[in-house]
A and B are shown apart, each in its own frame.
Chain A
Amino acid sequence: AQSVTQLGSHVSVSEGALVLLRCNYSSSVPPYLFWYVQYPNQGLQLLLKYTSAATLVKGINGFEAEFKKSETSFHLTKPSAHMSDAAEYFCAVNEAGRRALTFGSGTRLQVQP
């Protein structure tokens, strides 16, 4: 069965600091992995996806994530946080495209001025 664990329900960083949001997955077959962002009162927007090509995936707004099979991880990073990055971030897994996405519980990112 597929599942996702996001470590840390809240992360706070200073503007300009590194953003690191953690995601570990469980999948019985090669996974497709996604990061979505949700702003208040809005739906989810795709940041980036991994589908078994390059292990380092670049997304929108300067975010990137690295797939590490040995660690079953897909952590999201951004070198320099902006105030506009404050939102909730969800990691999601899809077992080789066979099923609908399973989402993690989310990490709320706060950016301090």
Chain B
Amino acid sequence: EAGVAQSPRYKIIEKRQSVAFWCNPISGHATLYWYQQILGQGPKLLIQFQNNGVVDDSQLPKDRFSAERLKGVDSTLKIQPAKLEDSAVYLCASSPGQGNSPLHFGNGTRLTVT
């Protein structure tokens, strides 16, 4: 099966600019996650979708971050305006459901904010 696809792989922007990341999960996976991984740290959940509904966005900085999953398939994560501390790898993951289903991760988008 095809894995989780993310694009772009790398992005460099200046602070206060906006940026968007795209994720295509594994076909049929109902649950989609966006994680932020700052260098030297473990991934931190930003948002979790179940189909096209939000399950958990408690750690999403909603003043600058937004995410959507239209039609319950692809998802985009946007940052506007970006700050220096947003420099990180943004990982998308999907799973067939919740519970003990393992997460399948994409290769991530490395964002550098200068």
Contacts and interface: CB of A to CB of B under 8 A. Distances in A.
Interface of A: 4, 6, 9, 32, 34, 36, 41-46, 49, 51, 90, 92, 94, 97-106
A46 B44 contact: no
A102 B45 contact: yes
Interface stretch (B14-22, B64-72, B75-83, B98-106): B98-106
Nearest to A9: B40
B25 interface: no
B41 A44 contact: no
Contacts of B93: 43-44
B52 interface: no
B51 to A, nearest CB: 15
Interface of B: 4, 33, 35, 40-45, 48, 55-56, 91, 93, 98-100, 102-108, 110
Contact of B102 (A9, A49, A103): A49
A36 B37 CA distance: 14
A32 B108 contact: no
B43 A44 contact: yes
A92 B44 CA distance: 11
Given A32-B100, A49-B100, A51-B100, A43 B45 contact: no
B108 A43 contact: yes
27 contacts: A4-B42, A6-B42, A32-B99, A34-B102, A41-B107, A42-B107, A43-B4, A43-B93, A44-B91, A44-B105, A46-B102, A49-B100, A51-B100, A90-B43, A92-B42, A94-B100, A97-B99, A98-B98, A100-B48, A100-B56, A101-B103, A103-B35, A103-B42, A103-B44, A106-B40, A106-B41, A106-B42
